[in-house]
């Protein structure tokens, strides 16, 4: 049975307060064991609206669980999406502040800049045509739920796919002029390799992730707006952040980025 609008609003406020107060809370399915993905996305939508009322702005979307490694790490199965807002973006060379975060992790990604609106279910070539740029990226995850790993897919979706912050490389290339379908993605921590995988681990090709996103949105009557940033999803598992870390992410042929981690 679908949640009543009042229940959706209540769960969204519950998660929003956890975000504002930087504290862990019990998963939603503890109180709503039959929570399904449609209602989970409704909770996510309402949570973003709460942020917008505080002056935040939606600037993009992120895909999650697009690699087998990531699905195995989280004990989950299907690809999902979340929303990126202006306050979530940090910049190449910035410092990630751990203060105010619960149990943050970082993962290397590929990101797309969307040059024109994408509506409906699209082909690989249509997705490529809509992209005006591609670059290296990283996402900082920070679920609001206790124990981080042991929760359901609807819980993850309601929690905006665990997304907290993201960073893009300064270098942005024309996706029609560079091959990024099977290139090495590396993440180094303090000069040592922490994770490495091929970009093909992202849905077989990062652009397939954008195709998947368009379908997920179209199923809900939504679309990818022009000017959006889209994170294609991680090719590797996420690494917990600790004070003093220096993180370097590189995607062969696309570019790299650096972030430091402080208390």
Q: What pLDDT is attached to residue 126?
A: 97
Name the pTM for this structure: 0.94
Structure-token match 């679309």, residue found: 223
Q: Is the pLDDT of residue 70 over 60?
A: no
Going by the DSSP 8-state scheme, the letter that residue 101 receives in this structure is -
Q: Is the pLDDT of residue 47 over 80?
A: yes
Mean pLDDT, residues 2-26 taken together: 94
Structure-token match 């992209």, residue found: 131
pLDDT band at residue 65 under the 50/70/90 scheme = confident
φ, ψ at 95 (rounded to 5°): -110, 130
Going by the DSSP 8-state scheme, the letter that residue 224 receives in this structure is B
Structure tokens at 108: 């290397």
Q: What pLDDT is attached to residue 69?
A: 61
Task: Count Cβ atoms within 10 A of the Cβ of residue 150 and give its class: 0-12 exposed, 13-18 middle, 19 or more buried.
Answer: exposed
Q: Is the pLDDT of residue 72 over 90?
A: no
Average pLDDT over the chain, rounded to whole? 93
Cβ within 8 Å of residue 125, ≥6 positions away = none
Q: Which of 116, 129, 121, 131 is nearest to 226 (CA)?
A: 116
Strand partners, 167: 90, 138
CA 102 to each of CA 25, 40, 88, 141, 247: distance values in angstroms, whole numbers, following the listed order: 11, 22, 15, 10, 19
pLDDT tens across 197-222, in order? 999 999 899 999 999 999 999 999 99
Query: Which strands sit side by side in the sheet containing 184-189, from one edge to the other?
Result: 95-97, 255-262, 246-251, 184-189, 192-198
Distance of CA 61 to the CA centre of its chain: 7
Q: What pLDDT is attached to residue 2?
A: 86
Cβ within 8 Å of residue 145, ≥6 positions away = 24, 25, 26, 27, 151, 155, 159
pLDDT tens across 144-188, in order? 998 766 678 899 999 999 999 999 999 999 999 999 999 999 999
Domain 58-262 has CATH 3.90.850.10: yes
Q: Is the pLDDT of residue 232 over 90?
A: yes
Supply the Cα-derived Rg of the chain in whole angstroms: 17
pLDDT tens across 106-125, in order? 999 999 999 999 999 999 99
| Angle between helices 37-53 and 5-21 in degrees, nearest 10 | 60
The span from the CA of 29 to the CA of 47, in Å, is 17
Q: What pLDDT is attached to residue 60?
A: 98
- DSSP-assigned states of every residue in 133-174: EEEEEEEEE---BTTSSS--HHHHHHTGGGEEEEEE-S--B-
Domain regions of the chain by residue span: 58-262
The span from the CA of 173 to the CA of 157, in Å, is 31
């Amino acid at each position: 049975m679908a949640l009543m609008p009042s229940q959706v609003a209540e769960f969204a406020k519950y998660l929003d307060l956890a975000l504002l107060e930087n504290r862990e809370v019990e998963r939603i399915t503890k109180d709503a064991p039959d929570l399904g993905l449609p209602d989970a996305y409704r909770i996510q939508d309402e949570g973003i609206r709460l942020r917008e009322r505080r002056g935040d702005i939606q600037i993009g979307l992120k895909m999650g669980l697009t690699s087998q490694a990531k699905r195995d790490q989280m004990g989950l199965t299907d690809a999902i999406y979340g929303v990126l807002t202006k306050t979530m973006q940090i910049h190449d060379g910035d410092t990630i502040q751990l203060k105010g975060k619960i149990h943050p992790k970082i993962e290397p990604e590929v990101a797309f800049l969307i040059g024109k609106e994408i509506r409906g279910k699209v082909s690989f070539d249509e997705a490529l045509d809509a992209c005006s740029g591609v670059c290296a990226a990283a996402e900082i995850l920070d679920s609001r739920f206790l124990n981080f790993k042991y929760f359901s897919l609807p819980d993850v979706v309601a929690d905006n796919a665990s997304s907290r912050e993201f960073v893009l490389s300064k270098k942005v290339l024309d996706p029609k002029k560079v091959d990024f379908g099977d290139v090495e993605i590396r993440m180094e921590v303090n000069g040592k390799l922490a994770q490495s995988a091929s970009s093909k681990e992202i849905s077989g090709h990062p652009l397939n992730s954008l195709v998947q996103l368009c379908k997920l949105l179209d199923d809900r009557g939504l679309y990818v707006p022009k000017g959006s940033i889209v994170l294609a999803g991680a090719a590797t598992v996420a690494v917990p952040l600790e004070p003093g870390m220096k993180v370097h992410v590189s995607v062969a042929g696309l570019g790299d980025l650096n972030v430091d981690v402080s208390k």
